[in-house]
Amino acid sequence: MAILIKGGRVITADADRIADVLIDGEQIAEVSESIECPGAEIIDAAGKYVFPGFIDPHVHIHLPFMGTNAIDDHASATRAALAGGTTTVIEMICPGPDDEPKAAFEEWKGLAEAGACCDYSFHLSVVRFDEVAKQQVRDLVANDGVASFKVFLAYKGALDIADAQLFELMEIARELGVIITAHCENAEAVDAMQERLIAEGKTGPEWHEPSRPRCVEADGVSHLCAFAELTGAHVYIVHTSCGAAVDQATAAGRRGVHVDVEAVAPHLVLDKSYAARPDFEGAKYVMSPPLRDAEEHEHLWKALADGRMVTIGTDHAPFNFEGQKDMGREAFTCIPNGIPGIQERVDLVHTYGVCEDRINLQTMVATCSTNAAKTFGMYPQKGEIAAGSDADVVIYDPAYEGVFSQSESESKTDYSGYEGMTRKGRPELVMLRGGLVARNGRYIGSGGGGQYIGRVPTH
Ligand code: URP
Ligand code: ZN
Ligand code: ZN
């Protein structure tokens, strides 16, 4: 049966208007001022926002990392995504240095096929880069819908890539028209700083940020952009935490480098004082790049408002406090890096971005949905409310008021990074390709149903 959403405020990256939306099967059939469709199921959306399904361009679900494995599986993480209004995720495939890229892709895709409740795609981390890996990278682009790769200029000896290999990978990326996403820090500097601080007995989570200060991140961005300038590759800088790093990317952009910059929710609303919480609770807030001084929030929101940053992801990296984060009680260098947040992102951006007048609703849609679809080759199938697009729709209640709480989370983690924080607004109804999957911030689907979104090179 067709579904007719009546009288909502339909907000896309390009328009903000009262309109009706007709859904037929898995697609949007029509959007216009007044639609009549006898026999259709009517949803009254008066007083509500009607958004395109949100896209999270940076999540970790299956993540073997720092001697442990992230705690979510594809079912729990994607239920959480849908409860929070996110209908498509792009997961980072993170193989180890000995793993073949093709085998890693098959492993991650198999896990997602078995469990994912929302739609999904992948960025593939390039850690191993010998002749076998190079050929597999080409094959994955040609045959498997992989159109973006990931490099870590960080985590020395575990996930990082040597400069000579980075250069060659970026030349291949340029040739194939695919994007290199990058975690940018100076890995050598981080190593040296960690060694110094630990030798001085500075072992608690509050020393994580001083071990990788802003200059380390800005240096990583500058390094990546130099390689992009030399090779002509399109680069996308993930989880950018501070104005200094954004400035490096902006300057490179002015020189003609094709560079896009991502923000992630923790850096927009949390600050480094959280990592200094007593009784080792600060470990919950250890991520890389680290949480910064609160003054950085304004730099990031401004960059989102004026387009210097194009997307907001979560960097959802779910480790339990008990049994995982506490592996680092003796030294902050052993705390698994990451903060969960796949469910909270949209409401955080609404509460602390839109309601605080830092960005408007259209920028919220652009940065949390449409720009990711465009950047990563999923537009207009995803990230749009228009005839022919997938019927991924969020009917959003801006008047809801509450607090974030782990007790309402579908993620398996034993804490929420946003516990007790004010929440304004929540998804009232979430549809994935026309099917109702979440209501009032709760997943109500019957499990599974997520589809792989294979992509083609964007240029
Ligand atoms: O601290 C983080 N960001 N953990 C996940 C891995 C990564 O660097 O993205
Ligand atoms: Zn990272
Ligand atoms: Zn990440």
Contact indicator for 100, 128 with CB cutoff of 8 Å: yes
In angstroms, what is the span from residue 160 Cα to ligand 2's centroid? 11
Ligand 1 pocket test, pick from 68, 161, 239, 324 with the greatest ligand atom count within 8 Å of Cβ, gives 239
| In the block, residue with structure tokens 């880069």 | 129
SS3 for 392?
coil
Cα torsion angle, 28, 33, 35, 41, sign: positive
In angstroms, what is the span from residue 182 Cα to ligand 2's centroid? 8
SS3 for 434?
coil
Ligand 1 pocket test, pick from 56, 58, 59, 60 with the greatest ligand atom count within 8 Å of Cβ, gives 60
pTM: 0.98
In angstroms, what is the span from residue 338 Cα to ligand 1's centroid? 5
Range of the domain at 179: 52-375
What is the pLDDT, as a whole number, of residue 336? 98
- State yes or no: pLDDT of 53 exceeds 80: yes
From the CA of 70, which ligand is nearest?
1
What is the pLDDT, as a whole number, of residue 332? 98
Whether 413 maps to a domain, the answer reads no
Name the residue with the closest Cα to ligand 1, atom 3. Answer: 288
Whether 216 maps to a domain, the answer reads yes
Q: Give the whole-angstrom CA distance, residue 383 versus residue 453.
A: 13
User: Which residues form ligand 1's pocket by a CB distance below 6 Å?
Assistant: 60, 183, 239, 287-288, 315, 317, 337-338
Name the residue with the closest Cα to ligand 1, atom 1. Answer: 287
Whether 32 maps to a domain, the answer reads no
Give the count of domains, the chain.
1
Amino acid identity for residue 397 in this structure: D
What is the pLDDT, as a whole number, of residue 156? 87
- Shortest-distance atom of ligand 1 to CA 65: 6
Long-range contacts of 60-63 (CB under 8 A, 24+ apart): 60/91, 60/92, 60/94, 60/315, 60/316, 60/317, 60/318, 60/338, 61/89, 61/91, 61/111, 61/112, 61/316, 62/91, 62/107, 62/108, 62/111, 63/92, 63/94, 63/317, 63/338
- Shortest-distance atom of ligand 1 to CA 287: 1
**What confidence tens digit (pLDDT) does each residue in 362-409 have?**
999 999 999 999 999 999 999 999 999 999 999 999 999 999 999 999
Helix/strand/coil percentages in the chain, nearest 5: 35, 25, 40
In angstroms, what is the span from residue 425 Cα to ligand 1's centroid? 28
Could you tell me which of 160, 161, 219 has the C-alpha nearest to residue 189? 219
Which domain CATH number covers 144? 3.20.20.140
Token couple for 440: 């009032």
Q: Give the whole-angstrom CA distance, residue 252 versus residue 231.
A: 13
Furthest-apart CA atoms within the chain: distance in Å: 74
Beginning with the edge strand found earlier in the chain, give each strand of the sheet holding 86-93 in spatial order.
54-59, 86-93, 119-125, 148-153, 179-184, 234-237, 259-264, 311-313
Phi, psi angles (nearest 5°) of residue 288: -130, 135
Name the residue with the closest Cα to ligand 1, atom 2. Answer: 338
Whether 429 maps to a domain, the answer reads no
- State yes or no: pLDDT of 459 exceeds 90: no
Name the residue with the closest Cα to ligand 1, atom 9. Answer: 315
Partners of 10 in beta bridges: 17, 50
**What confidence tens digit (pLDDT) does each residue in 406-420 have?**
999 999 999 999 999
In angstroms, what is the span from residue 9 Cα to ligand 1's centroid? 36
Going from the C-alpha of 103 to that of each of 14, 114, 249, the distances in angstroms are: 40, 17, 33
What is the pLDDT, as a whole number, of residue 277? 98
**What confidence tens digit (pLDDT) does each residue in 326-355 have?**
999 999 999 999 999 999 999 999 999 999
**What confidence tens digit (pLDDT) does each residue in 170-198 have?**
999 999 999 999 999 999 999 999 999 99
Q: Give the whole-angstrom CA distance, residue 237 versus residue 441.
A: 30
Strands 422-432 and 393-403: antiparallel
- Shortest-distance atom of ligand 1 to CA 94: 6
Name the residue with the closest Cα to ligand 1, atom 8. Answer: 288
